Amino acid sequence: MMESEISEQPSNIICLSEKRLKYSGCQHKAIVVDPDLEYVECRDCGERLNPMNALYRICTEESRFVHRIASYKKWYQKYKEKHRVKCRHCGKMTPVRVK
């Protein structure tokens, strides 16, 4: 291939990028779900929300929470393992008391 062919992009390729806007409005952090009336609204601003978006948001937050707990458990296990010493009398590994 020639250098001019490499630098040119085909016209049938579409490039998408996520645009992050600074949003000054309500972030809808607290939502109210009414299963009887089948709607979701923001507790702070009162705006009605798309139920699928609210469900997606809850699922991603829950997934993030589960992963964070798993990483904390791994960290704690490593922490516990590092705070053990070999006993001079019996030769077994014993935890160090940290006050």
For the segment 25-39, what is each residue's pLDDT rounded down to a tens digit?
A: 788 888 888 878 788
What is the 8-class DSSP label of residue 12? T
Q: Where are the domains of the chain?
A: 26-95
CA distances from 54 to 32, 42, 46, 68 (A): 10, 10, 14, 21
Rg (CA), the chain: 27
More confident residue, 37 or 5: 37
In the chain, the amino acid numbered 79 is Y
Q: Provide the whole-model pTM.
A: 0.50
For the chain, give the number of residues.
99
- H/E stretch holding 54 reads helix 51-82
